[in-house]
Every structure is written in C-alpha cells, then in structure tokens.
Amino acid sequence: MQISLTKKRILTIKCVFLPPLRYQLPGGILLNVCGVSLAPNPTEADLRTRLDRAAARLAAGFPAPTAATVPELEIGTLAEFPERGLIAGDDMTASLVVPIEGRHCAAAVLSLEPEAALLWIQRSSEGAQGDPLARFREIARAAIETLMGAVFEEPVRLGAGMLHEADIPSILHGTHAPADTALLSARLVWADESAAWGGVFYLLAEPKQLAAA
C-alpha cells in the first residue's frame, strides 16, 4: 500500500503589515493576510516546551500506549533552509500544507516519509477501514491544529489544506513566501511497544511572530 499524491498545487503566502485582507490563492483557497504580530515573542525553550506538550496530547489519542518526543527543533528563515532546518526525508514525502486563517500570518506543513505516514495511519486507526489518503489528511490536519494551537497558545482556525508528494525543500520554497519568513522545524517521534514513527512539523510565520532565531 502506498500513499500516492498526484496533484501538486502551489500555495503562495504573502505576509505583510496591512489591514486584514483576503487573497485568492490557486485552487480557490482564501488566505487572510494579517495586520498584527504576537507579543511577547516566544523563546526557543518556550516553543520546545509547548511542542512537547502537544506531541504528548497527540500520543494520548492512539489506541495503544504511545510515547512522544520532540528530539530536535530548529528556528531560522526560509532563505536559510535546508542548511538551517530539519528534513523530513531524503526524497519524496507525504505532506499536508495548511494556511492559518485569522490574525496569524502563518502556514503549517506536516511532512512524513511515505512508510512513516502509512504506519501513522495504521497506529492511529486500529481496525479502521477506508481510504488511507483521506485518513492521512484527517489525522495530519488534526495534528497541525493541535501543534499550531500549542505554538500560539490559543486555538487556531485552519484553512483548506493541500496534499503534496514531493521533497520538502521543493514544498517549502514552492510557497513563494518571502525569504525572511521565519521557519520553525520540529521533529516529532512517537513509539509504542513494537514500532517508532514520526515526521517533521514546519511553521512558516511572519518574522515578528517567531523571534527565537
């Protein structure tokens, strides 16, 4: 069984300080352009603590007892990636790209190697039947919502997500976000008694929202 993502669309992110506007993106997706920044800016230690807690909450949702860790976290800019940042896989990944609506000028990506994505689906859906691609979209979207809420310490509203099957540098640079866009990458690892799996969570944000570089 393989995850096959055949349609690749480009998500363009514009982060500027203007009154809130809405841009029409390819594929009919609307993205809010924010006019605010968050304060106070979190430190890297703050972000690691928040993501550790979020990963543990996600682990609690698996049918079997599961441990969660965030062993690596990097904060830089899109221009510095991949020299500064974490890579989900050496080749193709299964990735969900989601814009964040409302006052947060941000977008998130959750990226796993195909084998890890399939294992994640199996572990989170014990005994479940159905389309694995649809299930991946469902659980990745729920995970992004939890992780984003942890980073910003408040609920977030997700826009329409897009599935990609590509290497992660192509996905991130394909957003056409400005070069100085802040990029957080965090490696997430879950493990039960018989297997371990994980991926990388990426957050693209207006620089003033992530000043922990």
Q: What is the DSSP string of 109-166?
A: EEEE-HHHHHHHHHHHSTT--S-HHHHHHHHHHHHHHHHHHHHHTS--EE---EEEEE
**Rounded Cα–Cα distance for residues 56 and 12 (Å):** 32
Residue count (the chain): 213
Token look-up 């866009």 returns: 181
pTM for the complete prediction? Answer: 0.78
**Rounded Cα–Cα distance for residues 95 and 161 (Å):** 10
CATH of domain 21-209: 3.40.1550.10
Least confident of 28-42, 67-81, 94-108, 158-172: 28-42
pLDDT on residue 101:
84
Q: Domain ranges for the chain, please list them.
A: 21-209
pLDDT on residue 71:
94
Average pLDDT over residues 84-100: 88
pLDDT on residue 7:
35
